[in-house]
Amino acid sequence: MVDATALSGIRAVGPDRATVGAGTTWLELARAAATHGLAIPAATGYLGLTVGGTLSVGGIPPAVACGAQVDHVHALQIVTGDGELRRCSPSEDPDLFGAVLAGLGQFGIITEATVGLVPAPVAVRGWSIPYREPAAFFADLRTLVRRGEVTEVFGDWWRPGEAGEVHHLNAFAFAGPSGPPDGAHVLRGLTADPAAIEVEDTGYLEHITRIDTAVADLRAGLGWDALVKPWLTVWLPDSRVEEVVGDVLADLAPVDVGVGGFVLLYTHRRAALTRPSLRLPAPDGSDLVHLFTLMTAGPPGADTGFAEAMRIRNRALYGRARDVGATRYPIGTLPFDAADWRAHYGERWPELQALKRRYDPAGILTPGHSVFPG
Ligand SMILES: Cc1cc2nc3c(=O)[nH]c(=O)nc-3n(C[C@H](O)[C@H](O)[C@H](O)COP(=O)(O)OP(=O)(O)OC[C@H]3O[C@@H](n4cnc5c(N)ncnc54)[C@H](O)[C@@H]3O)c2cc1C
């Protein structure tokens, strides 16, 4: 186990990038960038995650058109498994760079990262739109993403008091110099009932830290850190998303979600997700791809039987999704063996095996995933 907190610290903030220790959280960087009028692109829903941690899995935001955090990295400093301190970037050792981003810590420990920054928006207007019919929800979701007038769109289910019957569409757009965006224009032509739409205006920093605030409340109110959280996250091809989401929602029982748990769908423009180790569903002719997460929070005091039941559930759900083209986003709780990893990396497998032999010949880095056994 490596404690990355010793690697934290913001080393430099420039006009379009920052260099940070890998143990720095995105929340720390977002706050520091804001003092320069800058923002992190591709902010994950929750920002209390380390830069090294999310760059090792992908870092997927609810924003629709900016790709993932791994798409905004200029350079990395790494200690590879052979003990060497190395730098890599798109122009310096690009194979190592491509393997480390979304590389699950298999090739080296990221010690420092130079990541892109963008001008900070000032304010954000958000619309929360409820649907009873999944077809209307998905039609409006695609309309909003494809028009490109909103920056962030995501769906969620199982809010407190619900059992998956309401499809919540959340859309956000930045305020411009002339004020907040006009909802009548942004939401034009949608099938949603205008009377049911809730509107909220927030400052930009408040907007991107709202999940951190919600998690702090869950920690204080529910003892959230102590709950077993057997999450499942998969990428779904656009052509099958209704089917998989509908299938999962239809079968969920309250125990599958739990207190403080929920179900989440991020939608992305496929072309913006460029890093080769972030494994997406095979192209299906659509410009969109979706990240679907079942964020289960176990009951307080859940025993190992609960965790095992959820592992089995996740494997069954993953198997059904994979059969229609889904890929794993490698966070959460999912039994995955060597054959699964080989299939997961597909045509990249021989190159990744060779890079593993070269940079971590003794296989000392992150063996727990069993990506490269023996
Ligand atoms: C409340 C909450 C909300 C979340 N929301 C999102 C979201 O919106 N989008 C999203 O994409 N993810 C989200 N996640 C998941 C998150 O991206 C993963 O849990 C990620 O692994 C978190 O990083 P960490 O700092 O906790 O790293 P860890 O869980 O400690 O590490 C993750 C992996 O990266 C490796 N690793 C960690 N640090 C380094 C390093 N410095 N160098 C090399 N390898 C390293 C580890 O070995 C491990 O394989 C969320 C998680 C939580 C708890």
Summarize pLDDT for 6-47 with one digit per residue, the tens: 899 999 999 999 999 999 999 999 999 999 999 999 999 999
Gap from CA of 138 to ligand 1 centroid (Å): 29
Query: Does domain 121-201 match CATH 3.30.70.260?
Result: yes
User: φ and ψ at 342, to 5 degrees?
Assistant: -60, -45
Gap from CA of 189 to ligand 1 centroid (Å): 38
Gap from CA of 272 to ligand 1 centroid (Å): 21
ipTM of this complex prediction, to 2 decimal places: 0.96
- Cβ distance 296 to 231 under 8 Å? yes
Please say if the pLDDT value at position 1 is more than 90.
Answer: no
Cα–Cα distance for residue pair 20/13, rounded to 1 Å = 9
Q: Which of 1, 54, 112, 294 has most ligand 1 atoms within 8 Å of CB, for mutation?
A: 54
Gap from CA of 102 to ligand 1 centroid (Å): 10
Supply the angle between the helices 349-359 and 338-345 in degrees, to the nearest 10.
Answer: 110
Over residues 129-176, the pLDDT tens digits come to: 999 999 999 999 999 999 999 999 999 999 999 999 999 999 999 998
Please say if the pLDDT value at position 124 is more than 80.
Answer: yes
User: Any idea where the domains of the chain sit in the sequence?
Assistant: 4-119, 121-201
- Kindly report the protein residue whose alpha carbon is nearest to atom 16 of ligand 1: 54
Please say if the pLDDT value at position 292 is more than 80.
Answer: yes
Gap from CA of 174 to ligand 1 centroid (Å): 27
Gap from CA of 180 to ligand 1 centroid (Å): 33
Q: Residue 143 to residues 149, 167, 277, 333: CA-CA distances in angstroms?
A: 10, 16, 29, 33
* Over residues 324-345, mean pLDDT: 97
Cα–Cα distance for residue pair 231/242, rounded to 1 Å = 20
Give the CA angle between residues 45, 46, 49 to the nearest 5°: 130
- Kindly report the protein residue whose alpha carbon is nearest to atom 15 of ligand 1: 331
For residue 209, give every residue at least 6 positions away whose Cβ sits within 8 Å of its Cβ, in sequence order, or none: 27, 30, 47
Q: Which of 64, 275, 331 has most ligand 1 atoms within 8 Å of CB, for mutation?
A: 331
User: What is the share, in percent, of the chain residues with pLDDT greater than 90?
Assistant: 94
Q: Which atom of ligand 1 is nearest to the CA of 69?
A: 11
Q: Which atom of ligand 1 is nearest to the CA of 332?
A: 19
* Over residues 292-318, mean pLDDT: 95
Pair of tokens at residue 310? 């959820």
- Reported confidence tier of residue 260, pLDDT bands at 50, 70, 90: confident
- Reported confidence tier of residue 4, pLDDT bands at 50, 70, 90: confident
Q: Which atom of ligand 1 is nearest to the CA of 58?
A: 11
- Reported confidence tier of residue 222, pLDDT bands at 50, 70, 90: confident
- Kindly report the protein residue whose alpha carbon is nearest to atom 28 of ligand 1: 53
Residue 133: the pLDDT is 97
Gap from CA of 143 to ligand 1 centroid (Å): 31
Cα–Cα distance for residue pair 130/166, rounded to 1 Å = 6
Q: Of all helices (H) and strands (E), which one includes residue 353?
A: helix 349-359
- Please tell me what DSSP assigns to residue 374: -
- Reported confidence tier of residue 2, pLDDT bands at 50, 70, 90: confident
- Cβ distance 177 to 301 under 8 Å? no
Name the 3-class secondary structure at 174: strand
CA torsion 102-106-111-116 (nearest 10°) is: -10
Q: Which atom of ligand 1 is nearest to the CA of 68?
A: 11
- Kindly report the protein residue whose alpha carbon is nearest to atom 49 of ligand 1: 104
Q: What architecture (CATH level 2) is domain 4-119?
A: 2-Layer Sandwich (3.30)
Q: Which atom of ligand 1 is nearest to the CA of 59?
A: 11
Residue 146: the pLDDT is 98
More confident residue, 330 or 260: 330
Tell me which residues have their CB closer than 6 angstroms to ligand 1: 4, 22, 44-46, 49-50, 52-54, 56-60, 104-105, 109-110, 215, 331, 366
- Reported confidence tier of residue 253, pLDDT bands at 50, 70, 90: very high
In Å, the largest CA–CA distance within the chain is 62
- Reported confidence tier of residue 373, pLDDT bands at 50, 70, 90: confident
* Over residues 272-278, mean pLDDT: 98
Amino acid occupying residue 292? F
- Kindly report the protein residue whose alpha carbon is nearest to atom 47 of ligand 1: 105
Over residues 164-175, the pLDDT tens digits come to: 999 999 999 999
Average pLDDT, the chain: 96
Cα–Cα distance for residue pair 211/46, rounded to 1 Å = 5
Residue 48: the pLDDT is 97
Residue 374: the pLDDT is 73
Q: Of all helices (H) and strands (E), which one includes residue 288?
A: strand 288-295
